[in-house]
Structure 1
Amino acid sequence: MRLPSWLAHHLAALRALLVFTVLLGLAYPLVFVGVAKLPGISERSGNPLLIGQSFGDDPKYFQSRPSAAGDGYDPTSTAASNLGPESVIDAPDAPSLLTQVCTRSLAVGRLEGVDGSRPYCTADGVGAVLAVFHRDGLTGPVTRAVAVNGPAFLATYQGVPVEPGPADTTGAVITPIRGDAPAEPAVPADAVTASGSGLDPHISPAYAALQVARVARERGLDPERVRELISEHTDGRALGFMGEPGVNVLALNLALDGR
């Protein structure tokens, strides 16, 4: 007997639900639990190697990228900040992603002895953003400009004095201002942005290279030896073509400690 089409569609959907429940709800998690139990994967010297951690700005260690998981690298709160490119206006108790990036870049620059300035950041490490008001709404001459994230970082904008913020931005055109920082910052992007999981132990080779001089100096090592350790703990692209090479900071720091 031929089933009605509506019932056949529902049965097909139910079969798909059952198959994917088994594959993704049971088989997939069990495979990863099994992998985590393999020797050398779950633990080494009591330290998990697949999960990043903070090194507390200790100058003798390579520093990890920022983490939005709980208070940082909390495996029970793995998460991203969910902030994106449009997060440029600071809230009273929550800086925008732009300001977080600006602040982190200055901090990394001070730690590594390089220029931590970035485009669209003020010299104080705040997002350089104006709320620009036009005579005709979104067009026409500028009638008012406000530095929405705090003190005014420009004297004037298109002939109009820039007011300090914060201010009501209703009806304004939010305008990030490109300063005179280098187009290619000295501080790499992964040094100032968190990973999607908040637990990633890898940093870019560029960020690792930036830290060589400090780590070598603090440990009294030859910088070339530190570079060799970086090379030994650099993972290539997944399957040879996916993603970018990454340096496992946790394994690298364990190697520096001789563990």
Structure 2
Amino acid sequence: MLNQIRPAIVMIVLLTIITGIAYPFAMTGIAQGLFPSQANGSLVKRPDGTVIGATLIGQNFTSDKYFHGRLSATSDTDPNDPTKTIAAPYNAANSAGSNLGPTSQALADRVKGDVDALAAQGITHPPADLVTSSASGLDPDISPANAETQIARVAAARNLPPDQVRQAVSQATSGRLLGLIGEPRVNVLQLNMLLDGLKAS
């Protein structure tokens, strides 16, 4: 019996050291060496080193002078009643979609209300990502079409020429990966930082 237990214990200890300690440390070291920014969370910093966000997680911009991200359906615990939840856009601790499907009347009513509100502002054919939330609720990017619908509002709020704001949108736009994968996208945080730089200058 001891002849069977000893090899089993040795294998457990050996595999724990290899897969639980050596391998994670090796992967962490390789990631830090080759991709330090991504390995540390793709953090975005001001020139003074202050961290203001991450390129992979959206933020809840609400001011007219900023571009707004895609709708977020994340929630949090109601501070007044722990048995209930409240809307908490871009709550990074609770990444989730709304789980409302195409047959949901609540979703249809909400989208119709948003489309009607946009129509009152002169936006008659809004892009899909302007009125729908993403699966994660933390999407950091919007489509170039979504950004285009916001240019007039942001330019007026910042007292900037629309063409100057449009140029900032172009600078913050990333194309398809390898020219084939995904869709063109605009990182909202990077775009708003560019705009703050324009205002400062």
Q: Into which bin does the TM-score normalised by the smaller protein fall?
A: 0.5 to 0.7
Question: Which residue of the partner structure matches residue 257 of structure 1?
Answer: 196
TM-superposed deviation, 1:55? 1.3
Larger Rg: 1
**Contact 1:36–1:42 under 8 Å retained in 2:** no
Q: Secondary structure at the match of 2:186?
A: strand
Question: Which residue of the partner structure matches residue 102 of structure 1?
Answer: 112
**Contact 1:114–1:186 under 8 Å retained in 2:** no
Gaps of 5+ in 1: 1-20, 89-95, 116-184
State yes or no: 1:62 paired with 2:62. no
Q: Secondary structure at the match of 1:231?
A: helix
Letter paired with 1:37 = N
Letter paired with 2:195 = L
State yes or no: 1:50 paired with 2:52. no
Moved more, 63-72 or 224-233: 63-72
- Give the alignment of 1:5-154 within 5 angstroms: 35-37=38-40, 41-45=42-46, 46-48=51-53, 49-56=55-62, 58-70=63-75, 71-88=88-105, 96-110=106-120, 113-115=121-123
- Give the alignment of 1:194-233 within 5 angstroms: 194-233=133-172
Gaps of 5+ in 2: 1-18, 76-87
TM-score by length of 1: 0.54
Question: Which residue of the partner structure matches residue 178 of structure 2?
Answer: 239
Number of corresponding residues: 154
Q: Structure 1 residues 44 and 109 mapped into 2: Cα distance closer, same or farther (>3 Å)?
A: farther
**Structure with the larger helix share:** 2
Alpha-carbon distance in 1 for matches of 2:70, 2:125: 15
TM-superposed deviation, 1:215? 1.0
Q: Secondary structure at the match of 1:213?
A: helix
TM-superposed deviation, 1:238? 2.4
**Contact 1:229–1:252 under 8 Å retained in 2:** yes
**Contact 1:60–1:214 under 8 Å retained in 2:** yes
Letter paired with 1:72 = P
Q: Secondary structure at the match of 2:44?
A: coil
Instruction: Name the Cα RMSD after superposition.
Output: 2.6
Alpha-carbon distance in 1 for matches of 2:117, 2:127: 13
Alpha-carbon distance in 2 for matches of 1:249, 1:107: 22
**How many percent of aligned residue pairs carry the same amino acid?**
44
